[in-house]
């Protein structure tokens, strides 16, 4: 497949212009013009690029790219990362908020469906757009059950802050680092908020608002989108893909 054809399809499918994102979403580094094997990963990091080279990847899609709204000198680790991409002719494509928010292959929609939530609606406002999803369990579930499910899905031991009722029915999800969205969840009458990593200052907000929160790992809540997007590319274009796992434990 031609690289430019794939880039144009991704830009449109993910609706990149809709999101006020610091990430330079889209094609960040240009490589070979023909795409034969896609790699997907959470982070743009040297170990990931080394794995991409070993796996024969020529088009790499990441959630966290190399460029975040400011110029970077091509020195040190940044230089090394670019050298790895150039040496293999690897195209680097980044999709941050668009891949959190997408209703079909986004981190939050996929995780919500994996947990068994129904009646999904957009949730979790960021600069005027909603990047998460909320829904409900058909039958209320205990926090322990939900944490076990998350652990099985992510391989991560979850941190549970029980400040509200148990079991729960109405749940909001925003992957990654969205701890403060627990306030929005409380205001919307949800009983549980799920995100990736905790913040110390949010601890008291959770308990004093009578909310429950589960933290399932920043990295581990954001593997879902890139995998689902890769599967979509395989179904649509027949492209072979590989997931390049490099967990941070955070």
Annotated binding site for a divalent metal cation: 63-64, 100, 218, 222
| Chain centre distance of CA 13 | 16
Cα separation of 184 and 181, whole Å? 5
- Order of strands, edge to edge, in the sheet holding 192-195? 118-126, 129-141, 168-173, 192-195, 212-215, 159-162
Q: Residues, the chain, total?
A: 250
Per the annotation, binding residues are 63-64, 100, 218, 222
Distances from the Cα of 248 to the Cαs of 111, 148, 171, 186, in angstroms?
Answer: 19, 20, 26, 29
Cα separation of 225 and 87, whole Å? 27
Q: Phi first, then psi: what are they for 171, rounded to 5°?
A: -135, 140
Distances from the Cα of 118 to the Cαs of 111, 128, 148, 227, 233, in angstroms?
Answer: 12, 24, 19, 21, 25
Q: Is 128 exposed, middle or buried (0-12, 13-18, 19+ CB in 10 A)?
A: exposed
CB 159 within 8 A of CB 214: yes
With H, G, I as helix, E, B as strand and everything else as coil, classify residue 117.
Answer: coil
What residues have CB less than 8 Å from 94, skipping those under 6 apart? 23, 24, 25, 26, 28, 44, 61, 62, 63, 64, 65, 66, 67
């Amino acid at each position: 497949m031609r690289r430019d054809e794939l880039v144009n399809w991704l830009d449109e499918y993910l609706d990149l212009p809709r999101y006020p994102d610091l990430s330079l979403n889209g094609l960040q580094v240009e490589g070979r013009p023909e795409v034969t094997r896609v790699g997907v990963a959470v982070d743009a990091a040297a170990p990931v690029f080394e794995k991409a080279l070993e796996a024969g990847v020529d088009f790499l899609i990441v959630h966290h790219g190399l460029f975040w709204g400011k110029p970077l000198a091509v020195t040190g680790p940044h230089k090394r990362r670019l050298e790895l991409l150039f040496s293999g002719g690897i195209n680097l494509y980044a999709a941050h908020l668009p891949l959190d928010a997408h209703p079909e292959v986004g981190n939050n929609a996929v995780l919500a469906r994996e947990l068994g939530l129904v009646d999904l609606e957009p949730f979790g406002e960021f600069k005027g757009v909603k990047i998460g999803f909320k829904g409900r369990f058909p039958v209320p579930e205990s926090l322990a059950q939900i944490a076990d499910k998350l652990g099985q899905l992510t391989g991560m031991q979850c941190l549970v802050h029980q400040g509200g009722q148990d079991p729960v029915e109405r749940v909001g999800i925003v992957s990654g680092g969205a701890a403060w969205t627990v306030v929005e969840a409380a205001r919307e009458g949800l009983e549980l908020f799920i995100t990736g990593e905790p913040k110390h200052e949010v601890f008291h907000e959770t308990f004093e608002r009578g909310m429950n929160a589960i933290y399932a790992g920043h990295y581990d809540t954001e593997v879902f989108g890139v995998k689902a997007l890769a599967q979509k590319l395989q179904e649509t274009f027949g492209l072979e893909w590989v997931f390049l796992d490099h967990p941070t434990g955070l």
